[in-house]
Structure 1
């Protein structure tokens, strides 16, 4: 679409929505794991043939899913336009960045710079990393720091625990090569013996820097991360089958693979954080009440924090009450529970036509009335990109006085 036409479409939508854009769901398939069937689709809609199964929903996404097979726009969110025209949020930001993100933010940031998603698997995700900036910059890709929130009220699946990092002694004694035979032989899942599992608790989460080993459990997870889909899978056998070894090398520069083979992936790991003996104390994120915004009608909690690369809040509005929301920059929302109105826009959880909005800078930074018109708490997740909430809480380093 011509930029001038796309810009005209965005400007019209912003006028009609009074600074708020309604979005369509972006469904993403994965071919290496079975789905958990908890995303709200009809059962027959999960199976998408050779692409695998729908296991993820990406939210206000400007990121293309990096799958072996899939449509060219997989992962990209589309604006829900009354005219029926097709325009991705990525295109909208490219042609009207200042109008969506604010003039100053658009001047210093190329885009929204974050990706929010819901993922839902029936088996544990393989042990893997998301590479750091220095490792994927040669490929023209972004790193992927991420954070998780495990929503309440859902079945946690058969494996409600996540493996994080490695046993501390492996790093302390520099025995990192213990993992190498599992990468070379590529035959089982016993590489997990070198990691530690942590129980996933509904209503809580974790913050994970890029380069850290992890194998997420089967809880439905609402994730917020950097704008990227890079990874290296280190676990060969998943859900009873051997996955393609191509997934180990997916984001390894060809020259590094030729020179080092499987060892190239070991060199991409953040061993210091992976071997932190106090990983839980330094990475676990329980909700933090935001006292400054408490109101009679509701309250907000930090649920994504410990970084300025992204941040996020949970807003809870009581039945029959309202909440006045004011924030520091552009964000998108997912209506997780209940129904109501967001600055007059009807919203409803589990209704794919009414559960996802993007709030532009101009609207976000002025008072917005959020109304709960239902009989249960209205629960909304807010997702922010980099450098918007610079006052976001940071987890005090444990033990006190240790280096970050």
Structure 2
């Protein structure tokens, strides 16, 4: 599709939705994991892309970031706008009308929508891994990745095999101990988890995870606002008896360092990994932003805080009670998914489906433009149960963003 056609179709979709774009589901497989089957995707479609690609265990939201999967088509991970029978990528839409969609400040600084979010849903744990920093990723022409977690209660009706996450390293752990784990990669379990600590995961809470910090996410369905990158390095050689290839440790490392164990150890942010106050410095609980049950709605911060002093992303959970409505103004564009109930967002009707076939266009995901977010969006509950949505924002959106630990000051 030509740039002119994308611009015209984006304009038509923006006008029809009054600044709100409807998006189709974006499914992403991972060959090294086993899907947890809680994303409402039909079980017969969990391997819709073929067993060689792996099971579908992720759904990405408002993404202009391609998935870094071996053998993936170039648009894997990209969100598509749907309007009047046409489909085109959100990335192209942003390119055509950037100031309106993401705002002049983000466009001037990043020239793209620089963040995305996802659900990931696995039967068991993910290998203990880290995401490279900006400085490290730039060595191979990529971007670093801080990320965050929130465990939506609506999708976590069961915890699956291991609802615990190993985070960081035990205080007192030495670099030599981690190096020895890398030396033992092909001997079976390399023992990296012996040097870490697991935290029990609780639906309705979350974590903030900076780059270069080891973590082995557990088996709760996780909503994950993050920077628009897919870099990582796996430091665990065996997970639930399944081999983790060395290539997944070094895939985002310059080739000259693929066998340099000292470089791989030094990639880690040692101070943060062995922090004796790790939980206090990374754990999140929701904080009410505005509203109350008496007012018929509650808007909560679910992802907040800064990474290295920078506000890189944030997220809110809005609940509107049956028969009620509320108009919410936000200072930046956002991607949104409905996780419970039905209603209207602006003039678009939305609902959270119970069952999705691969390739089906649902009505549970939208992108709200910078312009429209500032003007205000009305959320109306038209159903008989709470109408709940999750929305995430890009960098530097809020002047009143809470700090990690601020939930302790409430009440």
- Tell me the TM-score range normalised by the shorter chain: over 0.9
Q: 1:44 to 1:255 in 2, by over 3 A?
A: same
Tell whether the 8 Å contact from 2:130 to 2:212 is kept in structure 1 after alignment.
Answer: yes
Q: How far has the Cα of 1:295 moved from its partner?
A: 7.3
Among candidates 343, 357, 361, match of residue 340 of structure 1: 343
Number of the residue aligned with 1:358: 367
Number of the residue aligned with 2:61: 59
- Provide the rounded CA distance (Å) in 1 between the counterparts of 2:132 and 2:376: 39
Q: How far has the Cα of 1:293 moved from its partner?
A: 8.7
- Provide the rounded CA distance (Å) in 1 between the counterparts of 2:290 and 2:216: 34
Tell whether the 8 Å contact from 1:337 to 1:349 is kept in structure 2 after alignment.
Answer: yes
Q: Does 1:184 align with 2:193?
A: no
CA offsets 1:15-57 (integer angstroms, 9 cap, x no match): 1111110001110000111110111111111112210110100
Mapping for residues 3-402 of structure 1, pairs under 5 Å? 3-47=3-47, 48-84=50-86, 86-153=87-154, 154-170=157-173, 175-186=174-185, 187-257=188-258, 261-291=260-290, 296-307=295-306, 308-350=311-353, 353-395=362-404
- Provide the rounded CA distance (Å) in 2 between the counterparts of 1:51 and 1:367: 41
Tell whether the 8 Å contact from 1:189 to 1:238 is kept in structure 2 after alignment.
Answer: no
Please report the TM-score for the alignment, with normalisation by the length of structure 1: 0.93
User: What stretches of structure 1 of length at least 5 have no aligned partner?
Assistant: 398-404
Q: How far has the Cα of 1:184 moved from its partner?
A: 2.4
State the superposition RMSD in angstroms: 1.6
Tell whether the 8 Å contact from 1:128 to 1:233 is kept in structure 2 after alignment.
Answer: yes
Q: 1:295 to 1:137 in 2, by over 3 A?
A: farther
User: What stretches of structure 2 of length at least 5 have no aligned partner?
Assistant: 355-360, 407-411
Matched positions, count = 390
Match of 1:178, SS state, is helix
Tell whether the 8 Å contact from 2:284 to 2:405 is kept in structure 1 after alignment.
Answer: no
- Provide the rounded CA distance (Å) in 2 between the counterparts of 1:245 and 1:312: 34
Match of 2:223, SS state, is strand
Number of the residue aligned with 1:402: none
Tell whether the 8 Å contact from 1:273 to 1:279 is kept in structure 2 after alignment.
Answer: yes
Say which is worse superposed, 287-296 or 150-159, in terms of deviation. Answer: 287-296
Tell whether the 8 Å contact from 1:295 to 1:323 is kept in structure 2 after alignment.
Answer: no
